């Protein structure tokens, strides 16, 4: 087995393991089951937090790839692209209500999967990586879509109270 085979197999196994919480969250939401690692009634929130963390991680992968570019303009471009997934994740997790949060995260995973496949087309990443990212992104997006359909509609997260001064509010 070559070093490339070892990397490919490890990435496949770890990527599949990373998909388990997405599948478990979707199952918990569609069946109403309480799972050991999801607090009672907390499957949607746990799923949103996990999705946000993984989306941010995938942006970091793009940052790491950009570090290896010889051309500064390409590196800066991909540094900018690398930050976007974390910003989308933060926006979805903190500012959107259910099920919009899950739909935005699903769309972001699909978009990033396609963009990561583009890395293989530009020969910046190996073909197996692009294929793996497409497959995992499709699986994750499908799980998030199922969860979005099953999740009850809720109000957006509460915003922090506004600071009050000593003078009364204008009328």
Q: Is residue 23 part of a domain?
A: yes
Q: What domain count does the chain have?
A: 1
User: How long a stretch of residues is the chain?
Assistant: 171
User: Model confidence over 91-142: pLDDT tens digits?
Assistant: 999 999 889 999 999 999 999 999 999 999 999 999 999 999 999 999 999 9
Residue 98 to residue 106: CA distance in whole angstroms: 13
Residue 111 belongs to a domain: yes
**Per the domain annotation, does 166 fall within a domain?**
no
Give the predicted TM-score (pTM) of the model.
0.85
Tell whether 168 is covered by a domain. no
For residue 69, tell me if it sits in a domain. yes
| DSSP sequence for 39-93 | -TT-HHHHHHHHHHHHHHHHHHHHHHHHHT-SSHHHHHHHHHHHHHHHHHHHHHH
Q: C-alpha distances in angstroms, 17 versus 14, 66, 145, 147?
A: 5, 26, 19, 19
> Does 6 reside within a domain?
no
Residue 66 banded pLDDT, cuts 50, 70, 90: very high
Q: Which domain holds residue 52?
A: 18-150
Whether residue 95 lies inside any domain: the answer is: yes
Q: Give pLDDT tens digits for 6-51.
A: 999 999 999 999 999 999 999 988 988 777 766 666 888 889 999 9
Residue bearing tokens 């949060």: 101
């Amino acid at each position: 087995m070559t070093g490339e085979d070892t990397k490919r197999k490890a990435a496949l196994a770890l990527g599949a393991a990373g998909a388990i919480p997405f599948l478990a969250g979707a199952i918990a939401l569609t069946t109403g089951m309480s799972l050991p690692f999801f607090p009672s009634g907390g499957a949607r929130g746990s799923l949103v937090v996990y999705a946000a963390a993984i989306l941010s991680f995938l942006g970091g992968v793009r940052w790491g790839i950009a570090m290896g570019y010889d051309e500064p303009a390409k590196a800066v471009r991909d540094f900018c692209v690398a930050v976007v997934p974390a910003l989308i994740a933060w926006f979805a997790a903190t500012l959107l209500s259910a099920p919009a949060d899950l739909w935005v995260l699903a769309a972001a995973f699909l978009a990033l999967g396609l963009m990561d496949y583009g890395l293989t087309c530009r020969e910046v990443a190996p073909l197996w990586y692009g294929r793996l990212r497409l497959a995992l992104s499709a699986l994750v997006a499908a799980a998030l879509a199922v969860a979005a359909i099953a999740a009850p509609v809720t109000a957006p997260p509460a915003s922090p109270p506004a600071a009050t001064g000593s003078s009364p509010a204008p009328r």
